[in-house]
Amino acid sequence: MDYTSYLRLPQLLSNQQMESAKHGVPAHDEMLFIVIHQTYELWFKQILFELDLIQEIFGGTRVDDADLGRAVHAAERIVKIEQLLVGQIDILETMTPMDFLEFRNLLMPGSGFQSEQFRLIEVRLGLKRDARLAFNGASFDASLTEDARKRVVATEAAPSLRDQVDAWLSRTPFVDMGGFHFREAFAAALDKMLSQDMDLIQAHPHLGAAEKELQLASLRNSRAMFDGLLDDKRYTELQAQGAWVFSRRALQAALFLFLYRDEPAANAAFRMLKALMDMDEMLALWRMRHALMVSRMLGRKVGTGGSAGFDYLRATADKHRAYNDLFAIATFLIPRSALPALPDEVRKSMRYRYEQST
């Protein structure tokens, strides 16, 4: 075995065929354009490979603690890859708009929207079809080949990582253990914090009446959102309005893990949730950077695949998010000093214990 044959370098390095050269007018920057996008697809392949491992671990009826550590490691690797994908835009932007125009028309109707692997990543992370923006009045997979669409539809029919994480969170044992009920203990602590915040706002000498009312309304809305986590009927109403996607039990467990993340039994689970948020954030950042790059390169021109360009891409950065619920949990976080103390039974069950052998 040698380096060249192991990496199949002759095949790999012969796959950069410039359309401009085929037409007798070689455009220097087309090589960069091809290499960047081929590299994207290789990294997409690696992300899907890591998701295979994570979803295998979360796909059962229980997640072993040792396996959870492997899943966290894979998820954090995906985040690092996504950071690299965002950074590649810096390289692509060394190509000027006029350089791009040298070969742009030769790409039509090709488009990044035809990337099957990227669509599979979105679906497997948990982005649902009904939560997407329409693409030129058509479904998000309309520009894919027929075979690719079939694979996307088949993937949509299987549980996504978000579905699996929801089921995993719902099995968290510490939320209700013995006589301890996290919801009741935390509701009292949250009420105390919100009351203090309201008193501070009302007594603030530099806030006008309108600004005070605005901030007080925000606090009341936060309490109403939390009520939705306590009451089945209210939660169902909020979920129907699109306020929540995760199940009520899963959201309660996620909040518990965020608050008590320093406990050993909660730390790996918290890191998993944090990695999911980081993935979501990096994809949103990549979409926004992509939108700004398109605006820089094309202005208000229509994309090579017929998309609305900048406006559509910018909108997807806000809309196409799989883990908004985890970000919304920050609404209910309180200072560490205000956390309700865990009963001894719960605290001991969440910590490592080493007993001396006799």
What's the pLDDT at 357?
A: 60
Segment 67-82 shows an average pLDDT of 97
Beta carbons of 70 and 57 less than 8 angstroms apart: yes
Q: Which of 62-66, 142-146, 270-274 has the highest mean pLDDT?
A: 270-274
What's the pLDDT at 273?
A: 98
Hey, where are the domains in the chain?
Answer: 26-342
- When pLDDT is cut at 50, 70 and 90, the band that residue 149 belongs to is very high
Q: Which of 221, 240, 234 is nearest to 328 (CA)?
A: 221
pLDDT tens-digit map of 328-357 = 998 888 888 889 899 998 999 999 876 666
C-alpha dist (Å) from residue 201 to 215, 219, 224, 300: 7, 10, 19, 45
Q: Which of 178, 328, 333 is nearest to 257 (CA)?
A: 333
- When pLDDT is cut at 50, 70 and 90, the band that residue 301 belongs to is low
What's the pLDDT at 308?
A: 58
- Residue 281 token pair: 């954030």
C-alpha dist (Å) from residue 118 to 49, 319, 330: 13, 16, 29
Classified by CATH at the fold level, domain 26-342 comes out as Methane Monooxygenase Hydroxylase; Chain G, domain 1 (1.20.58)
What's the pLDDT at 305?
A: 52
What's the pLDDT at 303?
A: 56
- When pLDDT is cut at 50, 70 and 90, the band that residue 111 belongs to is confident
What's the pLDDT at 104?
A: 92
Q: What's the pTM? A: 0.90
Average pLDDT, the chain: 91
- Residue 34 token pair: 């091809």
Burial zone of 244 (CB within 10 Å; 0-12 exposed, 13-18 middle, 19+ buried): buried
